C-alpha cells in the first residue's frame, strides 16, 4: 500500500473522491496575501480555475463568518509559531449556502520572503449534521445548525412561515415591538419600516409576497445580503441583512437576519486604505511619486510583449547631481529629484511611462510616435527644462541632463536590451561633454 501513497496522482485521486482541497498561503510584506489552490480546492471555493492567487485568498477569507475570524486567526498564530493547527468553522459558499469546513495546515519554514502555510480544506457539512436535521420538517423553524451559526453573528433573526402567514422572532433586540411571539406579515413590515432603510423593506416585502428571494431589481436569487446604513442621532450607522430560504422545510420558511456591522465597516475601510497605501508604496518611488524601477520594468515588459510597433526608451542622467548633494546637502538634492520628476510628467503625454530607476537616473518610455523628429523635439525640451543653476558663496553649480535613446526593433525588443542600448548611448552623451542626447546606433 505504501508504494501507492507515495505517488502524487494516487493521492490526488483519493483527495478528489473525498473532496479534500489542497492550498498554500503566502504572506509577504508589501504584497497582497496569496492563496494557491488545487482544482478540488477551487471547486470547493466556487471560484474560476484561472483566478489569481490574490483574488483566491480574498474569496476564501471574505466568506468566513465574523464570529469565527478570531478562531481562524488563532490557528494562523499557531502556524506562525511552528505548530500544526486544525479547526472546524462555518463558511458560506458562493451559492449562499452555509457549510462546515475542516481546515488544517502547518508552516513551511523553507520560505524566506515572508510566511508560507501548507494545508487542506474539507467540506464536512454532511458529517456534522444529523440526518434528522436534513429531513423535511413541518415545524416553522429553520435547521438547527444554521440557527446556531447565525445566532452567534446576527442580533436579529426572524422566521417567515408561508404556511401560517406568521412571522416569529427567534432572536430580537426589540421584543417590545412585537404584539406576541407570532405576528402577521403586515405587522412585521410595519415594524421594519421604523428600523430598516426603505430599500431593504421593499426587498423583504417583495420576497414575502412572491415567497422567494427577490433582489432590488426584481430578479430571483438563491439568497440576498446587503450592507445598508440607517441614521442614528443624525449619524449613519451600518447594518447587514441576510435573507435565505430554509431548504429543510421545502422552502416554506424564509429566514431574515440583521446585524450591526458598524465596527466591521470601519475596520474594512481602514483595511482598504492600508492595502491601497501598501500597493502605492510597492509601485511608486517614495520620494518623487513616479513609478519605481520594479513597476516601470513590469509595465514596459508587458507593453512590449503585447505590442509590436516601434517605441523609444529614453534614459536620463543628471550632470553634477553629486556636487549638489555634497555641497548643498541631501535635502536640496531630494528637492531637485522631485522637481525633475514633476517636469518630466508635464513634458510627456499621458500614454508615456515615466519612472525613476534610482539615484538621479530617470526613464521616459514613449509608446507611440510618428518619426524620430518627435523624439528629438521631446528630448530637447527635457534637456532645456532640466537645466538649473545653483549659486553658492564659493562657486556656481550647473545641473544639466545627459540623455541616451534606444529605439525598439525586432532584435532589442526587451526591457533589458533597450536599457543597455540606452545606457551605451547615455555614456556617449557624457563623453561628448554632457548636456546633450545620443541615439543608440
Instruction: Tell me the pLDDT tens digit for each residue of 86-143.
Output: 988 877 776 666 778 889 999 999 998 889 999 988 888 777 665 434 443 434 445 5
Q: pLDDT tens, 176-228?
A: 555 556 788 998 899 888 888 889 999 999 999 999 999 989 898 888 989 88
Contact yes or no for 429/395 (Cβ under 8 A): no
Per-residue pLDDT at 6 exceeds 60: no
Cell numbers representing residue 88 in the block: 472546524
127, 402, 417, 419, 438 from 381: Cα distances, Å: 73, 12, 26, 21, 14
Per the rule left: phi > 0, alpha: psi between -120 and 50, beta: everything else, 371 is beta
Q: Tell me how far apart the alpha carbons of residues 367 and 349 are, in angstroms, rounded to a whole number.
A: 10
Q: What is the DSSP letter of 236?
A: E
Cell numbers representing residue 154 in the block: 446576527
Q: Tell me how far apart the alpha carbons of residues 165 and 178 are, in angstroms, rounded to a whole number.
A: 15
Cell numbers representing residue 312 in the block: 523609444
Mean pLDDT of the chain: 84
What domains appear along the chain, each with residue ranges and CATH number? 2-128 (3.30.450.20), 133-265 (3.30.450), 284-439 (3.30.70.270)
Count of CB atoms within 10 A of residue 378's CB? 21
Contact yes or no for 259/237 (Cβ under 8 A): no
Contact yes or no for 156/258 (Cβ under 8 A): yes
Q: What percentage of residues in the chain have a pLDDT greater than 70? A: 85
pTM value is 0.45
User: CA 439, 440, 441 angle in degrees (round to 5)?
Assistant: 110
SS3 of residue 341 by DSSP: helix
Cell numbers representing residue 55 in the block: 483574488
| Residues, the chain | 441
Which residues, 6+ apart, have CB-to-CB distance to 322 below 8 Å? none
Q: Tell me how far apart the alpha carbons of residues 1 and 237 are, in angstroms, rounded to a whole number.
A: 60
Q: Tell me how far apart the alpha carbons of residues 396 and 121 are, in angstroms, rounded to a whole number.
A: 69
Contact yes or no for 35/42 (Cβ under 8 A): no
Count of CB atoms within 10 A of residue 217's CB? 7
Contact yes or no for 173/155 (Cβ under 8 A): yes
SS3 of residue 47 by DSSP: coil
Kindly give the pairing relationship between strand 437-439 and strand 396-407.
parallel
Q: Tell me how far apart the alpha carbons of residues 292 and 242 are, in angstroms, rounded to a whole number.
A: 44
Q: Tell me how far apart the alpha carbons of residues 421 and 405 are, in angstroms, rounded to a whole number.
A: 8
Q: pLDDT tens, 45-79?
A: 888 889 999 999 988 888 777 667 778 888 888 98
Look at residues 404, 420, 408, 375 and name the one whose alpha carbon lies nearest to residue 307. Answer: 408
Q: Tell me how far apart the alpha carbons of residues 168 and 181 are, in angstroms, rounded to a whole number.
A: 6
Q: What is the CA radius of gyration of the chain?
A: 31
Which residues on neighbouring strands pair with residue 194, listed in sequence order?
none
Q: pLDDT tens, 378-411?
A: 999 999 999 999 998 888 999 999 999 999 987 7
Q: What pLDDT does 248 receive? A: 65
Kindly give the pairing relationship between strand 115-123 and strand 183-184.
unpaired
82 backbone dihedrals φ, ψ, rounded to 5°: 100, 0
Cell numbers representing residue 202 in the block: 421593499
What's the maximum distance between 2 C-alpha atoms anywhere in the chain? Answer: 97
Per-residue pLDDT at 239 exceeds 80: yes
Per-residue pLDDT at 175 exceeds 60: no
Q: What pLDDT does 126 receive? A: 76
37 or 178, which is more confident: 37
Q: Tell me how far apart the alpha carbons of residues 140 and 143 are, in angstroms, rounded to a whole number.
A: 10
Amino acid at each position: 500500500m505504501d508504494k501507492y501513497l507515495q505517488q502524487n496522482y494516487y493521492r490526488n485521486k483519493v483527495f478528489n473522491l473525498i473532496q479534500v482541497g489542497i492550498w498554500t498561503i503566502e504572506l509577504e510584506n508589501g504584497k497582497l496575501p496569496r492563496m494557491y489552490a488545487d482544482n478540488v480546492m477551487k471547486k470547493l471555493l466556487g471560484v474560476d480555475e484561472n483566478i489569481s492567487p490574490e483574488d483566491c485568498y480574498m474569496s476564501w477569507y471574505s466568506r468566513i463568518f465574523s464570529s469565527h475570524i478570531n478562531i481562524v486567526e488563532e490557528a494562523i498564530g499557531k502556524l506562525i509559531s511552528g505548530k500544526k493547527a486544525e479547526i472546524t468553522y462555518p463558511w458560506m459558499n458562493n451559492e449562499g449556502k452555509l457549510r462546515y469546513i475542516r481546515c488544517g495546515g502547518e508552516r513551511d519554514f523553507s520560505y524566506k520572503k515572508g510566511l508560507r502555510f501548507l494545508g487542506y480544506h474539507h467540506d464536512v457539512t454532511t458529517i456534522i449534521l444529523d440526518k434528522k436535521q436534513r429531513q423535511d420538517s413541518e415545524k416553522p423553524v429553520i435547521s438547527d445548525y444554521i440557527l446556531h451559526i447565525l445566532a452567534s453573528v446576527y442580533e436579529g433573526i426572524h422566521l417567515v412561515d408561508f404556511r401560517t402567514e406568521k412571522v416569529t422572532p427567534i432572536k430580537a433586540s426589540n421584543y417590545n415591538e412585537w404584539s406576541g411571539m407570532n405576528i402577521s406579515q403586515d405587522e412585521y413590515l410595519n415594524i421594519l419600516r421604523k428600523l430598516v432603510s426603505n430599500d431593504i423593506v421593499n426587498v423583504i416585502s417583495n420576497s414575502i409576497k412572491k415567497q422567494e428571494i427577490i433582489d432590488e431589481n426584481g430578479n430571483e436569487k438563491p439568497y440576498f445580503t446587503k450592507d445598508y446604513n440607517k441614521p442614528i442621532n443624525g449619524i449613519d450607522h451600518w447594518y447587514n441583512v441576510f435573507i435565505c430560504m430554509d431548504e429543510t422545510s421545502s422552502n416554506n420558511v424564509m429566514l431574515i437576519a440583521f446585524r450591526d456591522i458598524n465596527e466591521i465597516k470601519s475596520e474594512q475601510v481602514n483595511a482598504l486604505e492600508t492595502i491601497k497605501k501598501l500597493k502605492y508604496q510597492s509601485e511608486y518611488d517614495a520620494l518623487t511619486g513616479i513609478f519605481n524601477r520594479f513597476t516601470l520594468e513590469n509595465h514596459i515588459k508587458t507593453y512590449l510583449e503585447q505590442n509590436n510597433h516601434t517605441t523609444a526608451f529614453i534614459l536620463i542622467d543628471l550632470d553634477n547631481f553629486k556636487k549638489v548633494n555634497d555641497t548643498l546637502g541631501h535635502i536640496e538634492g531630494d528637492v531637485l529629484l522631485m522637481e525633475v520628476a514633476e517636469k518630466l510628467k508635464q513634458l510627456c503625454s499621458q500614454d508615456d511611462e515615466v519612472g525613476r530607476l534610482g539615484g538621479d537616473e530617470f526613464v521616459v518610455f514613449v509608446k507611440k510616435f510618428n518619426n524620430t523628429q518627435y523624439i528629438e523635439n521631446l528630448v530637447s525640451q527635457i534637456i532645456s527644462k532640466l537645466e538649473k543653476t545653483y549659486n553658492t558663496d564659493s562657486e556656481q553649480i550647473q545641473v544639466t541632463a545627459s540623455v541616451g535613446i534606444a529605439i525598439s526593433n525586432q532584435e532589442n525588443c526587451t526591457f533589458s536590451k533597450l536599457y543597455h542600448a540606452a545606457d551605451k548611448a547615455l555614456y556617449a552623451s557624457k563623453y561628448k561633454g554632457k548636456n546633450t542626447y545620443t541615439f543608440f546606433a
